[in-house]
Chains A and B, each alone.
Chain A
Amino acid sequence: MGERREGAFIPRLKSRGPAPIPVKKGTLVILVAALALAAVLSPLASAKPDGLERVAEDKGFLERAGSFSTSLVPDYLMPGVGNEALATSLAGVSGTVLTFLLAYGVARLVRKRGIEAGDRVR
């Protein structure tokens, strides 16, 4: 196949299944950065209340906050993991991967219909 150059026109291959979507190195870096961010920096994040929470505290409506459901990974702490930093990291990484898969899936589904309308070449 050979190396794919940045910005090179990538010819579409005829294949039975959906054509593989080329992923440039530059794009992959974003996912790697995301995973690194989630794994390493999320346990270090500030635990202070965010802007809305702070306003709710100051103006006296914070106690209205409730939850109508229990979540799988409440407060970004992976259940069953003793160490809080590790629990946060795991929550972060799993959420990042999940988000990637869902967003990618949505994009693929959306794009599939687009193919029927005809491809655009830019």
Chain B
Amino acid sequence: MHIPDGFLDARTWIGATVAGAGAVGYSLKKTREVLEERQIPLLGMIAAFIFAAQMVNFPVAGGTSGHLIGAVLAAILLGPWAAGLVITVVIMVQALFFGDGGITALGANVLNMAFFATFSGYYAYRLLSRLFGGGKARATGTFIVTFLASWFSVVTAATAAALELAASGTVPLGVVLPAMLFWHVIIGLGEGVITAVAVSFVTSLRPDLQSRQLAGPSTDP
């Protein structure tokens, strides 16, 4: 859901840029406090993976496609603040080098996908883990929780985008919000499956990441 230039009015995109820059600045500070040296290569590789995965649009119903955001994937493996940085880097590369997402809309896209999606999904993950995690079917429980949290992150980001579009006067809220929700409720299913599968795959290779997940990632805000 990369917003191009021209969809947002000046007040909205300027406000989003200020808020986005603030969020990035704060993420740098928080990440500095907790990032371990051994996580540095992982951060780079997850960013690379998310960039690549975002290129692979998958078809959903009715002549539309979706793509991964990867916010919850990054948050589970790196914690939410580092995840915010990772997605921000991805979005900036996309906008600045590939014209995917506007330059003026960069702040809004960063806010929506690097922060709103990340934190909504991360907190959903933690809450659901506490409610349903543990027990005998731990792997299945984790898979389902990851799926739901990732789905939720997409719906949140889509809602934020709809609010920005409405605030810009581009389209009425009553029109854009149901439409965005419709498609992203569906697209979120793809995000859920991809994220849950990817997390299982990564944690099977790096079991040391699994305990981090269950105990709660180190970057607790």
The chain A residues found within 8 Å of chain B, CB to CB, are 6-7, 10, 19, 21-31, 33-35, 37-38, 41-42, 44-52, 54-56, 58-61, 64-76, 88, 91-92, 95-104, 106-108, 110-111, 113-114, 117, 119-120, 122
Contacts and interface: CB of A to CB of B under 8 A. Distances in A.
A91 to B, nearest CB: 7
A104 B45 CA distance: 8
A66 B44 contact: no
Given A48-B57, A61-B165, A102-B93, 20 more contacts: A6-B206, A19-B37, A30-B49, A34-B48, A35-B52, A37-B49, A46-B57, A46-B58, A52-B161, A59-B179, A69-B99, A76-B55, A92-B52, A95-B55, A99-B93, A102-B92, A103-B47, A104-B47, A107-B43, A110-B28
Interface stretch (B14-22, B63-71, B116-124, B141-149): B63-71
Nearest to B31: A110
Contact of B97 (A59, A71, A108, A117): A71
- The secondary-structure label for the interface of chain A is helix
Contacts of B56: 37, 41-42, 44-45
> Chain B interface: which size bin?
35 or more
Given A51-B158, A107-B43, A75 B98 contact: yes
Interface string B78-106: 00001001100110111011111011100
Nearest to B161: A52
Contacts of B48: 30-31, 34-35, 96-97, 99-100, 103
B45 A100 contact: yes
Most buried by A among B33, B45, B161: B45
Contact of A107 (B3, B44, B93): B44
Contacts of B86: 103
Interface string B108-152: 000000000000000000000000000000000000000000000
Contacts of A38: 51-52, 55
B39 A107 contact: yes
Contacts of A42: 52, 55-56
Contacts of B37: 19, 21, 111, 119
